[in-house]
Structure 1
Amino acid sequence: MATTNIWQQFKALIPEGVRVIATITANNNNGTSQAELRDGSVITVKGESVSVGEKVFIQNGEVKAAAPNLAQYEVEV
């Protein structure tokens, strides 16, 4: 009978790395883009697949996909 490690199964459900949403401000024509985070800071990320002005998902410093342009709300609890 094979044993199962429940902790390893649980960890497999959680994606690796942090995923953030940012707005592309420039494509650098060298495989990287400039992205502005919601707090106003600008970072350089790998990937140029998304046009300037569009929102993207960034994970581990790389553009993963375009993100929908949805309204943002801030709530204090």
Structure 2
Amino acid sequence: MANDKPKRDTAYLVAVTPVSESDSQPADAVYAAMRQSPAEAVAAVRALIAGEARIAVVGSLSPRTTKAINLQPGEVRAI
């Protein structure tokens, strides 16, 4: 019996670290990306970043915190 429930979005925390110090990006940045998988969260953040950077999922937000900051499905926000 297959599970027919739709997969829920999760608010993943995605860290961005520039590869070189000369990049115009801040030294480190963390984004909250509301997606269905960690890979989708990384891809969404990568689409926002100019230049080379190391990007990795470093955690997630609880549903309570996600609601408190009003993060919507599909949204990516620097935090």
Is TM-score (shorter-chain normalized) higher than 0.5? no
When Rg is computed on C-alpha atoms for both structures, the one with the higher figure is 1
Q: Which has the higher strand share?
A: 1
Q: Which has the higher helix share?
A: 2
Higher relative contact order (CA 8 A, sep 6+): 2
TM-score by length of 1: 0.30
